[in-house]
Amino acid sequence: MTEPTGEFSLIRSFLERWGDLAQGIGDDGAVLTVPEGHKLVVSTDSAVEDVHFSRDHLTPAEIGYRAAAAALSDLAAMAAEPIGLLFAVVLPESCQSDAEALADGVADAARAAHCPIVGGNISRGGELSITTTVLGSAQHPLSRSGARAGDRLFVTGRLGGASEAVMAWKEGREPAAQNRMAFARPTPRIREARWLAEHGATSAIDISDGLAADARHLAEAGKLRITIDGDAVPVADGASLDAALSGGEDYEILFTGPSSAFGEFTKTFNLMLTEIGAAEEGAPELEVRRKGEPIAVPSGYDHLARR
């Protein structure tokens, strides 16, 4: 650490705020137990100021929450149960007074996922960035590659809201409240994805690059052709189908599985589940149709700010 005194007092302050949520901090590494017969699942994700978020649009607590939620969403995609989160922050001078609110936001996301905070790092720097590493355990982690020909394609929730918020900011408009929330407070679908895995999901991914791009990832990993019925895609209120297809950072779960397996989902979680397509034998590519005709899908997600 760059400034031991400042670092140690900030760490103390974080630990006080986190309370019982912080576990095993104080040694060179945290010691965790992976349940017997379970695999360890691990992922890391960075959120960089003016690339992934802007301090003009989000509160410090939202920045912290969103960074942690995006990482936790990767555990959801693998149907893993969170067992620990590490929070590494590079903090510019101008953000010192926001550090505790950032830490509160991280804690909100961790607490909602029942995930202890087991370590981290605080560094000075010129640019605010947060790198969150998440650890989970699963007996049978879901992967991107398990789809079988004949599986149906499903998605949780509604898509496009986060992307609409980013578009509004880019155009200098204030986004609609529900789109702003979709961007600022996404919900990692942790319990939902574990339920889906237990009920027969064969492959899954969380939607971070956009529905179309992430469906392509499933097609490539599964070596299957994937088709999406554009008319079936659940578009968020105030968002367009384009935003739903090409916008990213929805953090909903896109997955394959048998047609009839997930009937109890919506009742169990009070969350929409929509069948939007299918996996078929064929070259690993994606086709999106509207009214039965293939349509072109703009590729890739355009982040908040391009430098």
Pick between residue 57 and residue 229 the one whose CB is nearest to a second copy: 57
What CA–CA distance (Å, rounded) separates 160 from 294?
Answer: 20
Backbone φ and ψ for 140, nearest 5 degrees, come out as -130, 85
Number of residues interacting with a second copy: please give it, by CB under 8 A.
68
- Do residues 182 and 236 touch, judged by C-beta distance below 8 A? yes
* Closest C-alpha among 197, 207, 194, 200 to residue 81: 194
Q: Does 77 bind a second copy (CB under 8 A)?
A: yes
Q: How far is CA 264 from CA 48, 81, 197, in A?
A: 39, 21, 13
The residue from 69, 205, 212, 288 that contacts a second copy (CB under 8 A) is 205
Pick between residue 55 and residue 289 the one whose CB is nearest to a second copy: 55
Q: How far is CA 165 from CA 36, 69, 111, 128, 171, in A?
A: 43, 18, 26, 21, 10
Q: Does 151 bind a second copy (CB under 8 A)?
A: no
The residue from 23, 46, 54, 59 that contacts a second copy (CB under 8 A) is 46
The residue from 21, 58, 67, 78 that contacts a second copy (CB under 8 A) is 78
- Provide the 3-class DSSP secondary structure of residue 105: helix
Q: How far is CA 202 from CA 14, 173, 199, 258, 260, in A?
A: 40, 41, 9, 8, 13
The residue from 103, 108, 115, 133 that contacts a second copy (CB under 8 A) is 133
CB of 137 to a second copy, least distance (A): 9
CB of 158 to a second copy, least distance (A): 21
The residue from 221, 232, 261, 271 that contacts a second copy (CB under 8 A) is 221
Q: Does 174 bind a second copy (CB under 8 A)?
A: no
Q: Does 42 bind a second copy (CB under 8 A)?
A: yes
The one-letter amino acid code at 294 reads P
Q: Does 121 bind a second copy (CB under 8 A)?
A: yes
Pick between residue 186 and residue 229 the one whose CB is nearest to a second copy: 186
Q: Does 163 bind a second copy (CB under 8 A)?
A: no
- Do residues 139 and 38 touch, judged by C-beta distance below 8 A? yes
Pick between residue 229 and residue 297 the one whose CB is nearest to a second copy: 297
Largest CA distance in the chain: 64
Q: Does 242 bind a second copy (CB under 8 A)?
A: no
In this structure, how many other beta carbons lie within 10 angstroms of the beta carbon of residue 26?
9
- Residues in contact with a second copy by CB under 8 A are 1-5, 26-34, 36, 39-46, 48-52, 74-75, 77-78, 80, 84, 86, 88, 90, 93, 118-121, 123-127, 129, 131, 133-136, 141, 143-145, 205-206, 209, 213, 221, 299-301, 303, 306-307
